[in-house]
Structure 1
Amino acid sequence: MKNKTIAIIPARGGSKRLPNKNTILLGNYPLLVHSILFAQANSTIIDAVYVSTDDANSKAIALQYGAQVIDRPTSISGDAEPTVSALKHVLESIETEVENVILLQPTNPLRPENLLKEAFETFQKDNCDSLFTVSRSEQKLGKIKNKLFVPFNYTIGQRSQDLEPLFFENGLLYITKAKLILENTIISENAFPFEVNHIFANVDIDTQEDLEYAKYLLKKLITHN
């Protein structure tokens, strides 16, 4: 059996700063469910949705919402374990042949509706090995050396609109060839940086404050619709 493109949602249970964050409610759904629903809404691209977890509550919720669950071993569920370990374990645990993996992090629950469609078109058109989403930073950045601030991307007095463009990895979406993940790589050296300048790119839930901001945006979105 062959699933050409699968989505993997890594949802381990050991968050310290925001305990049980993957199962905390955001709007009407637990956090990880937002990524499951996003994957299911893109069923023309995604052939199967897998949640990798070591947490019983996350497993029950994922099954309730129609995802397949891969039980993640404790040995690859620690704080310091890279995400690619979970992705690789999923690929090694299923019997289907996979070509592309779409990584959806539950901590980035809000995504523009057409994001995957547009990103996947670029991924295929440019024949990419991997693609990840980036957003432009409008901040004046610098380093502190010997108790002095040293500007990094601007000169003192320069206007923000004249800054040289810098970008950050926003975590909304990753698309990678399965063969790369089996070699322990998510973002290859020639990865395509897919630019997303949307307010959702600023949502990455790691603290209670992050969660409150996401709730505010979600409520604002529902109110406007």
Structure 2
Amino acid sequence: MTSKTIAFIFARGGSKGIPGKNIALLGGLPLIAHSIRQARACQAIAQVVVSTDDEAIAEVARQQGAQVPFLRPAELASDKASEWLAWQHAVSHCLRDPSIGPFSVFISLPATAPLRQVQDIDACLKRYGQGDVDMVLTGTPAQRSPFFNMVQQRPDGQVELVMPGQYHRRQDAPPLYDLTTVAYVSSPEFIMAHQGIWQGRVALVSVPRERAIDIDEPLDLYLAECLYQRENHA
């Protein structure tokens, strides 16, 4: 089968932290528009598919040049629904749709990470293309370490290091990363045959913090707007 990459954007309508989050404005554009435009600017991506339960989100997606070949069922669009099941639903539908499938590479570009750049997408696809992993995630260098400054509270109320005594110098400790939502790359076969990311071989691509902010609450949106304006009006 000829290699074909489809970008998926999963954007449900029922956000609680920021009502209407996925079409909230960032830099004058609906949030989801940033991910769609980034995907369309990536030469390796053949088509962009949006999975949503919300017609308002669907309309914005169509206006931005994405396909919305289905509306996501309500049971896959609650805040308790499994993202993996939403992935399986979208992949299954698109494999059966002759205007989309078959395809060999799946990449999810969440609308909540609008500050990624096309080079980040390319880096994830390139890493996956090496062929030795089932999934590629993204992360940023961790600001805290369980070896030095992450603590847990004991039953007696005192705190202790999460992982004490293993390393005494930062130079000796292994590099750690905070996972981000910049991109997820896999194959439709792996997604359909498994129940989660960690059932396969996983690699990570490091992305700078300023391009990896994940918008979950109003403060995140405010910070993203500040970073966006700095980048685009410097």
- Taking structure 2 as the reference length, the TM-score comes to 0.86
Aligned to 2:136: 131
- Once the 2 structures are TM-superposed, how far is the Cα of residue 84 of structure 1 from its aligned partner? 1.6
* Residue segments in structure 2 that go unaligned for 5+ positions in a row: none
Match of 2:226 among 208, 216, 219: 216
Identity of aligned residues (%): 31
- Once the 2 structures are TM-superposed, how far is the Cα of residue 193 of structure 1 from its aligned partner? 1.6
CA gap 1:154/1:212 in 2 versus in 1, 3 angstroms: farther
* Equivalences, count: 220
> What is the CA deviation profile of residues 4-47 of structure 1, one whole-angstrom value per residue up to 9, with x for unaligned ones?
210110010011111110010000210111110010010x2111
Question: How far, CA to CA, are the matches of 2:164 and 2:45 in structure 1?
Answer: 42
Asked if structure 1 preserves the Cα contact closer than 8 Å seen for 2:38 and 2:117, the reply is no
Asked if structure 1 preserves the Cα contact closer than 8 Å seen for 2:128 and 2:135, the reply is yes
| CA-based RMSD | 2.1
Question: How far, CA to CA, are the matches of 1:191 and 1:163 in structure 2?
Answer: 21
Aligned to 1:192: 203
Aligned to 1:143: 152
> What is the CA deviation profile of residues 123-143 of structure 1, one whole-angstrom value per residue up to 9, with x for unaligned ones?
112442211112221222121
Asked if structure 1 preserves the Cα contact closer than 8 Å seen for 2:48 and 2:66, the reply is yes
Aligned to 1:66: 65
- Taking structure 1 as the reference length, the TM-score comes to 0.89
- Once the 2 structures are TM-superposed, how far is the Cα of residue 117 of structure 1 from its aligned partner? 1.4
Asked if structure 2 preserves the Cα contact closer than 8 Å seen for 1:3 and 1:97, the reply is no
Aligned to 1:106: 111
3-state SS in 2 of match to 1:169? strand
Aligned to 1:16: 16
CA gap 1:211/1:35 in 2 versus in 1, 3 angstroms: same
Question: How far, CA to CA, are the matches of 1:3 and 1:87 in structure 2?
Answer: 19
Aligned to 1:27: 27
Question: How far, CA to CA, are the matches of 1:107 and 1:19 in structure 2?
Answer: 13
Question: How far, CA to CA, are the matches of 2:118 and 2:228 in structure 1?
Answer: 13
Structure 1 range deviating more: 134-143 or 170-179: 134-143
Question: How far, CA to CA, are the matches of 1:222 and 1:180 in structure 2?
Answer: 38
Aligned to 2:47: 48
CA gap 1:122/1:200 in 2 versus in 1, 3 angstroms: same
Question: How far, CA to CA, are the matches of 1:207 and 1:132 in structure 2?
Answer: 22
3-state SS in 1 of match to 2:6? strand
Residue type of the alignment partner of 2:49:
Y
* Residue segments in structure 1 that go unaligned for 5+ positions in a row: none
Aligned to 1:167: 177
Structure showing the higher strand proportion among its residues: 1
